Structure 1
Amino acid sequence: MSVSSFATARTNALRLAVSVACLWLAGCSVLPKPPAQPVRYDFGPEPVAAAPASQAQRPAIALAEVEAPGLRDSETSVLYRLAYADAQVVRPYQLARWTRPPVQLVQQRLSSGLGRDRAVLLGGDGTAQPKVQGQSPAVLKVELEEFSHVFLSAQESVGWVRLRASLVDRQPQGDVLLGQTTFIAQQPAAGADAASGVRALTQATDKVVADMQAWLQQLGR
């Protein structure tokens, strides 16, 4: 074989190798990628708000299990609404989840928030309640009616939380309603994504807890 023929064969072999390598890389690029994993959120650390040293301990309450008639017990999706388009439709973010159902996260936030200056007994649904200093605590019943990232327009959105609270005094002759009200908080979201909605919902929940604490104090509880 002449030198020129050898060089030509060598060049052709290199070209073939490069072509095979390109085809292999192209084949790898079209292979299916593993699905993205959902990001899981909770409320994060609770804001620290120390009570004044002179503030007296408030009466204990029994916090019943928070109910959410409009949400499935196992629902953990971060939900949003397009109020400017289809306000009645609730949509889930595809890759955003709560670590637990929102009703449980709200329950925990209420328990810890209200418990800063009082004893909070859990499970106030039953008729038999332990007594605190010889008295049965009033029962706080809460329904979570709205908990979603609501878009008022394509650019403006809020974390929307609405709770309905009832304070009941259990008496041998029957329950006595001490007070009932609805708390609504709409916290502006910094962006139009799930993470911004989660932060706004967390802040709105903390606002509702603070408002509920003030309401209980107005009722003398």
Structure 2
Amino acid sequence: MRTTVNHTMNQTFRRLMLAAALGTAALLAGCSSTSKNLGNSTYDFGAAPVAAPAQAAAPMGVLVVTDVTGVAALDSERMFYRLAYADPLRARSYSNSRWANTPLSMVTQRIKSRLSQSGVKVLATTDASVGMPILRMEIDDFTHTFDSASQSYGQLVLRASLFHGHKLVDQRVFNQKTSAATLDAAGGARALADSTDAAAAGMIAWLATLQLPKQ
């Protein structure tokens, strides 16, 4: 008898947890009856913060920066989030919110901007001449992730590779997590922007440790 009661209680608990997770997903996706009146919101990274004095020294004189690459989902304006505590294998998108540009383009532009702030002369591949160092980057993750129903963060996982004379000089993975102030698309956008800035700052510090001739 006790086994049957415990089994019934466990089933009820699982149903309640699933209902809570699905309720959170519906709220995030803007599927409530009032969400249709909210309209669509568009987000970008905002203005790049001014570089701190400690970051003023350029890690190198000239650097060719290629466009950031990543999975096809990041080559659209959709904003993705993940309920890691309930359905970790499913990436969902906000129905009433989008990026102003693709994450690939926004991360590319932000990192170029931060490198320029540090004093680097940033060039595109079409402007490069032979012998210049080349920075290539690839995004492995760019998601607003919920680790519980009341806590979330923006995560950027970026792999950067520096080449010089067709040889790999070094490679570094930047895994940045920033807590979101609010449990919605706006909070996720701000957290992902902050994670991108943190990755850029780490990249500048990393490049400064590499010995390359000035161009």
1:217 partner amino acid: A
Question: Does the 8 Å contact 2:133/2:162 carry over to 1?
Answer: yes
SS at match of 1:168: strand
2:175 partner amino acid: I
Q: Please name the residue that 1:58 is paired with.
A: 60
CA deviation vs aligned residue, 1:116-173 (integer Å, no higher than 9, x gap):
21101123xx7x9326xxxx32110000111110001111110000101110112xxx
Q: 1:48 to 1:88 in 2, by over 3 A?
A: same
Unaligned regions of 5+ residues in structure 1, if any? Answer: 1-33
> C-alpha distance in 1, partners of 2:68/2:171?
15
Report the CA distance between 1:85 and its aligned residue.
1.4
> C-alpha distance in 1, partners of 2:128/2:178?
36
Report the CA distance between 1:220 and its aligned residue.
2.9
Q: Please name the residue that 2:84 is paired with.
A: 83
Alignment pair present for 1:139 and 2:141: no
> C-alpha distance in 2, partners of 1:187/1:152?
12
More helix by share: 2
Alignment pair present for 1:102 and 2:103: yes
Alignment pair present for 1:153 and 2:148: yes
Question: Which structure's relative contact order is higher, taking Cα pairs within 8 Å and 6+ residues apart?
Answer: 2
> C-alpha distance in 2, partners of 1:100/1:119?
24
Q: Please name the residue that 2:174 is paired with.
A: 183
Q: Please name the residue that 1:13 is paired with.
A: none
**TM-score, L = length of structure 1:** 0.73
Q: Please name the residue that 2:4 is paired with.
A: none
Q: What is the count of residue pairs matched by the alignment?
A: 177
Q: Please name the residue that 1:40 is paired with.
A: 42
What percentage of residue pairs aligned between the two structures are identical?
Answer: 36
1:183 partner amino acid: F
CA RMSD in angstroms comes to: 2.3
Q: Please name the residue that 1:218 is paired with.
A: 209
Question: Does the 8 Å contact 2:134/2:163 carry over to 1?
Answer: yes
Q: 1:147 to 1:138 in 2, by over 3 A?
A: same
Q: Please name the residue that 2:51 is paired with.
A: 49
Q: 1:81 to 1:67 in 2, by over 3 A?
A: same
Q: 1:52 to 1:203 in 2, by over 3 A?
A: closer
Q: Please name the residue that 2:129 is paired with.
A: 130
Question: Does the 8 Å contact 1:59/1:137 carry over to 2?
Answer: no
Report the CA distance between 1:77 and its aligned residue.
1.3
Report the CA distance between 1:78 and its aligned residue.
1.2
Question: Does the 8 Å contact 2:74/2:104 carry over to 1?
Answer: no
Report the CA distance between 1:53 and its aligned residue.
11
Rg bigger for which structure?
A: 1
Unaligned regions of 5+ residues in structure 2, if any? Answer: 1-35
Question: Does the 8 Å contact 1:70/1:145 carry over to 2?
Answer: no
> C-alpha distance in 2, partners of 1:210/1:161?
13
1:91 partner amino acid: R
Q: Please name the residue that 1:113 is paired with.
A: 114
> C-alpha distance in 2, partners of 1:199/1:55?
27
